[in-house]
Chains A and B, each alone.
Chain A
Amino acid sequence: MRPPVHSLGSVCVAIALAIATPALAEPVVVDGVVAVVDGKPITLTALRKRAAPYILQIERSTMAKWSQPDAIRTALSELLDRLIDEVLVEDAARRAGIKLSDKEIDDAIDRVAKEQKTTREGLMAEALVYGMTAREVRAEYSRQLLEWRVLYWTWGQSHDRPVPEGQAGTDTLVAWKKQWLEARRKAACVERRLSASGR
């Protein structure tokens, strides 16, 4: 008895059907905890939201498509360190009673716009090109201003002398930021649930 022979045509049809039918994808993680800082969770969604401008830059770059996921993972992993530090800064601000008013944030944005010889609207328009809304830009300036205030306050708590004026002051605070954050990370209960490679 001769074995059945499948015609080339029927094989091609079978392959075409397999491609056309949507595959049942494995469940993939869409949200979860990527870090916990003193009991406060940082979620994947929050991380992705902050990383959106960087992801957009990667996707728009000339980088080969196959290498983009790794670049995105690395960007997310590095940004997570920054988010962890921001939680530590916010916690210090809360304990010190440091709050920012809307006017202070507006003034900070206007100062930067002036330094860059543009207007507030110009700054916002430029940020939009990178996928950042006006609200997100404002939030970013607010974070940076709060960080600066906290660094000034923590310097004052730990040193007898004030922060120097001008560039020397900026250099002092940059060095102090590194020292203070290292100490805070050691003292805080920080659990990171995203590897350095993002895998």
Chain B
Amino acid sequence: MRGTKVVRLGSLIAVALISVGCLHPQAPAPSHARASDPEDAERARTCQAPPGPAPRGNLPLNTAAPPDGETIASISIEGARTVPKALVGSALTMTPGSRFDSERADADVVRILGLGPFEDVRLLAERKPEGLALHVQLAERPLIRKVFLAKGTSQPEQGEWTPVLPGDLYDPLALERVVRVLERNLVAEGHLDAKAGVRSLRVGDAQVDVCLRIDRGEQWKIERFVFPGASVVRAEELSARIGTANQPGKPYRAEPLKIDLLRMSALHYERGLLQSKVGAPSLRRLPASHGLEISIPVEEGKVFRIGKVRVTGELAGPRASYERELGNLAGKVFVRSQIQQVIERLRMHHRKLARSSESDVVPSTALHEDRSTVDIDFRVEKR
């Protein structure tokens, strides 16, 4: 009997303990907080939306001919919530009492769309005994409710993009542009394979959620420049013409390099390489170091020497005095900066003689490829 009492008491205690949750431990809480589940679900739905603008729904298609020529009895404007109806009314050229003209109506629809705040405009016509009742149905652009980052996407840094924020007006084209600029900026930072995209999901008549996905990819930096074909002008000299924007250790920037290529060409002209060509750069990835080898092909051509030199045109004094300013050019390698100096000396000499600055010295050249020479005519001309 005593054992029975103990068992009963034990059962009672067990029931008490179970009821306060001590005897059977509770199942472990899920690894994510329950409060964020709806948010995760929303993120997933938005990020999995099809690419492109959040669809508005199809226009019901009426195959009957438009009611051209019928008298308009009334025009109502519907759907403008925050935009004053008067603004829309001012864009309409159709008026009650006039005859419906589909081209004019179409121009009105396009004009209303051009105002900006509307993502859709529909014109409906209803035949009534008194005439056509036109309904201008408007759908204002929705607002962005939430901006999600897809899994694995980190928030872009300041300066990388123009942030998209909740409360912004939803404009699919503007969003695409933001994303394209972000992609370009990431590429400029050396993330050559960067891809950015946006997905949009309507969550009601007036709201859209947006999901931003960024895949930065690896960052590639300049490791070295090579100049196939460089000979007279050495690779080190060409490298020295590359500005600070494109130095080893930095991301590759195509635009600044274009100016550097011109500076390389100028160097060739200093060495008589008058037919040289500096080609477009090509990139080769070096996977082991995530480095870039930038190859700039060079065609130097022949070194040209100066052939015949003469001074012509409206001289203000003896030709011999001008020719003295030339120095001993004939036979020397053509160096562009030296020719610039000769032009300046001739210009000063002529102005001293003519006592006027009305004239200028204009050089013209004739290349002789067979002899690798260039004849120069320094012509004095009135401006």
The answer on a CB contact under 8 Å between B113 and A24 is no
For chain A, residues 1 to 50, give those with C-beta under 8 angstroms from any C-beta of chain B.
22, 24-34, 36, 38-39, 41, 43-46, 48
Given contacts A25-B126, A32-B121, contact A189 B172 (CB under 8 A): yes
Q: Which residues of B contact A46 (CB under 8 A)?
A: 106
A4 to B267 Cα, complex, angstroms:
113
A31 to B57 Cα, complex, angstroms:
15
A65 to B184 Cα, complex, angstroms:
55
Q: Which residues of A contact B61 (CB under 8 A)?
A: 29, 44, 73, 76, 194, 198-199
Residue A164 CB within 8 A of the other chain = no
Kindly supply a per-residue 1/0 record for chain B positions 117-140, scoring 1 wherever the CB is within 8 Å of any chain A CB and 0 otherwise: 000111111111100010100000
Q: Which residues of B contact A38 (CB under 8 A)?
A: 173
Residue A111 CB within 8 A of the other chain = no
The answer on a CB contact under 8 Å between B124 and A27 is yes
Q: Which residues of A contact B122 (CB under 8 A)?
A: 29, 31-33
Residue A69 CB within 8 A of the other chain = yes
A73 to B64 Cα, complex, angstroms:
11
Query: How near does chain B come to A21, taking the closest CB pair, in angstroms?
Result: 9
Report the contact-size class of chain A (Cβ under 8 Å from the partner).
20 to 34
Residue A195 CB within 8 A of the other chain = yes
Binds A, one of B2-10, B48-56, B292-300: B48-56
Q: Which residues of A contact B56 (CB under 8 A)?
A: 191, 193
The answer on a CB contact under 8 Å between A31 and B123 is yes
The answer on a CB contact under 8 Å between A191 and B53 is yes
The answer on a CB contact under 8 Å between B59 and A29 is yes
Given contacts A24-B128, A28-B125, A41-B113, contact A33 B60 (CB under 8 A): no
Kindly supply a per-residue 1/0 record for chain A positions 143-181, scoring 1 wherever the CB is within 8 Å of any chain B CB and 0 otherwise: 000000000000000000000000000000000000000
Given contacts A24-B127, A195-B58, contact A32 B173 (CB under 8 A): no
Q: Decide if the interface of chain B is mainly helix, strand, loop or mixed.
A: mixed
A198 to B59 Cα, complex, angstroms:
9
Q: Which residue of chain A has its CB nearest to the CB of B64?
A: A28
Query: How near does chain A come to B130, taking the closest CB pair, in angstroms?
Result: 11
The answer on a CB contact under 8 Å between A33 and B57 is no
The answer on a CB contact under 8 Å between A31 and B58 is no
Residue B315 CB within 8 A of the other chain = no
A67 to B121 Cα, complex, angstroms:
29
Residue A190 CB within 8 A of the other chain = yes
A30 to B64 Cα, complex, angstroms:
9
Residue A109 CB within 8 A of the other chain = no
Given contacts A41-B113, A191-B56, contact A30 B62 (CB under 8 A): yes
Q: List 25 A-B contacts (CB under 8 A).
A: A22-B129, A25-B127, A27-B124, A27-B125, A28-B62, A29-B60, A31-B106, A31-B109, A32-B59, A32-B120, A32-B121, A32-B123, A39-B173, A45-B66, A45-B102, A45-B103, A45-B109, A68-B63, A76-B61, A189-B172, A189-B176, A190-B52, A193-B55, A193-B59, A199-B60
Q: Which residues of B contact A195 (CB under 8 A)?
A: 58
The answer on a CB contact under 8 Å between A189 and B58 is no
For chain B, residues 88 to 111, give those with C-beta under 8 angstroms from any C-beta of chain A.
102-103, 105-106, 109-110
The answer on a CB contact under 8 Å between B58 and A194 is yes
The answer on a CB contact under 8 Å between B121 and A33 is yes
Q: Which residue of chain A has its CB nearest to the CB of B136?
A: A31
Q: Which residues of B contact A44 (CB under 8 A)?
A: 59, 61
Contact of A27 among B55, B59, B135 (CB under 8 A): B135
Residue A105 CB within 8 A of the other chain = no
For chain B, residues 264 to 313, give those with C-beta under 8 angstroms from any C-beta of chain A.
none
